[in-house]
Amino acid sequence: MNAAITSTGQREFHSGADEQHLSLDFLHRYLLGNYRDLYAATLALDINDHNAVLIARNLLATTAEADPDRRRAEGRLIARRLALLPPPRVYGLFRALRRARVNNRRTRTIMRNWLTGRPDLAFDAVKYRGAVKDVVRHAHLRPAGELGPFLFTPHRPAAYATPILETWRRAHYEQAALYELPYTVAEGFAAKHRIARNAFLERIAPRLTRLERLRLQESARGLKAEAVRADLTAMPLTRLASYVLAISPDDRARRRAELTTALRAAARRAAGDQAGRWGTVVGVLDDSFSAYGSGHKRRRPLAVALACHFLLEALASEYTPLWLSGRSDALLVHPYGATPLGERVLDGLERGPERLVIVSDGWDNAPPGLAGEVLRIWRTRLDPDHACGIVHLNPVYDAADFDVRRLSPTVPTAGIRDAEDLVALVELAQFAQGRTGLSELRGHLARRVEEFLREDA
């Protein structure tokens, strides 16, 4: 679970991409071979898209190893998870299955049902034409209407009756038509017609998705394309935190009111009915140099910590943030310095909170091991009755240990990718502490699977 939440097989601060990939691949193969039912049930949990695709691919590639009842259960879980994944992820999965020559009946059925369930397959054919064509070939499908000619002989018809297909055809020679297409498709046509970037962004702005607006906002600002402006208050919390950290400190200070309002609005949405119900909370938040992450996951650990800061503020009736650097201005945090976790944990416990939440990659090095000793003594001698609930949330997968790095065996640790999952992960952390057995874990997963499949009913 921790690996499936945190790892994407990419380079991290303390380990390279090859280490991450090999470690994650071993875990998937081990779980698939020894606990196939638990492996499939993981699809019902809040894992990241990368691991959801790997699980689906491994289950479909080993269909012959499951009995009919197990195949039916897995098929429902896979279909439900694919319905929640972004379309590019699903098309990527189907193309990977094609390259691996996985073409059993269950795989073809899942492909056919997923394509049939798409709200606008003609839109997909325009936006992901190569992928749709590969899936249609692999699953031996016959697209209805004009989709077949569009996929395999796109320039042969003189005109299409389907509006988006006709718009795509006209965009080859008519500039006005490209502004009716999805941004990623229109961008290629804009380059073909040599349209100035700022003019293109101004006119394509109404077609941009919420996340495309967020991604393009800063470059559009430099080009004076004012129409490309995202509504920050509607953005997901962790995505918004990443955007804030990508802005220079001077710009963050200048836009303080706007950014703080947006982050707090996103945090309130994420908190839901738990807002204000967590009592007194102290957050120990890692902004040391390792929070930079890597070139592939730039500032990702720090973005999770920043998002958790605002979410804990929304959950608590009284909240105290303790950044490792000693900074008090969350909006201006940046990765710098050592990791004095032990000192900050002491500072947090001294305040006597009802909950202490630590968000860190777990590399305690100033001095090494102090945080673990503090937590051990606190749990065994000073607070054996658990009056203060302590949980460690770690956004970084440790390839060497096949898990996220832990601070102490006396304190539960759970992997976290998005701050929005914080409330659920605090509940799940009881299993990471080892105080419950496999039967309790199976029961928990069975309930999660039932809820997961019921949502699709």
DSSP states along 261-292: HHHHHHHHHHHGGGTT-S-EEEEEE--SGGGG
* pLDDT for residue 456: 64
pLDDT at 11 over 80: yes
DSSP letter assigned to residue 316: -
CATH of domain 239-454: 3.40.50
| SS3 state of residue 389 | strand
Quickly list H helices, 280-369. Answer: 300-315, 341-350
Q: How many CA atoms lie within 13 A of 227 on its CB side?
A: 12
Helical (H) or strand (E) element with 97: helix 87-99
296 or 61, which is more confident: 61
Mean pLDDT of 356-370: 92
Q: Please give the model's pTM, rounded to 2 decimal places.
A: 0.88
What is the spatial distance between Cα 412 and Cα 352, in angstroms, rounded to a whole number?
Answer: 19
* pLDDT for residue 420: 93
Nearest in space to 25 (alpha carbons), one of 2, 43, 7, 44: 7
Query: Would you say 395 and 417 are in contact if contact means Cβ atoms under 8 Å apart?
Result: yes
Helical (H) or strand (E) element with 53: helix 49-61
* pLDDT for residue 446: 85
- The per-residue pLDDT for range 412-442, each reduced to its tens digit, is 999 999 999 898 888 766 565 555 677 777 8
Q: Burial letters for 55-66: b for 16+ Cβ neighbours within 10 Å, e otherwise?
A: bbbbbbbebeeb
What is the spatial distance between Cα 129 and Cα 122, in angstroms, rounded to a whole number?
Answer: 9
Q: Are strands 413-415 and 403-404 parallel, antiparallel or unpaired?
A: unpaired
Q: What are the sequence ranges of the domains in the chain?
A: 2-171, 172-230, 239-454
pLDDT at 47 over 70: yes
Sorting pLDDT into bands at 50, 70 and 90, what band is 400? confident
Torsion of CA 211, 214, 216, 218, to 10 degrees: -170
Mean pLDDT of 335-352: 93
pLDDT at 360 over 70: yes
Nearest in space to 306 (alpha carbons), one of 291, 319, 294: 291
* pLDDT for residue 134: 94
* pLDDT for residue 303: 96
* pLDDT for residue 87: 95
Edge-to-edge strands of the sheet including 355-359? 318-323, 280-285, 355-359, 389-394, 413-415
The pLDDT mean for the chain works out to: 91
From residue 426, alpha-carbon distances to 127, 154, 389 in Å are 39, 52, 10
* pLDDT for residue 433: 57
- The per-residue pLDDT for range 224-274, each reduced to its tens digit, is 877 788 888 889 999 999 999 999 999 999 999 999 999 999 999 999 999
DSSP letter assigned to residue 100: T
Find all residues with CB under 8 Å of 148, minimum gap 6, and list them.
Answer: 142
What is the spatial distance between Cα 339 and Cα 161, in angstroms, rounded to a whole number?
Answer: 62
Q: Could you tell me the two tokens for 295?
A: 């070139």
Query: Would you say 236 and 266 are in contact if contact means Cβ atoms under 8 Å apart?
Result: yes
> Which DSSP string do the residues of 168-193 spell out, in sequence order?
HHHTTT-HHHHTTS-HHHHHHHHHHT
- The per-residue pLDDT for range 263-318, each reduced to its tens digit, is 999 999 999 999 999 999 999 999 999 999 888 889 999 999 999 999 999 999 99
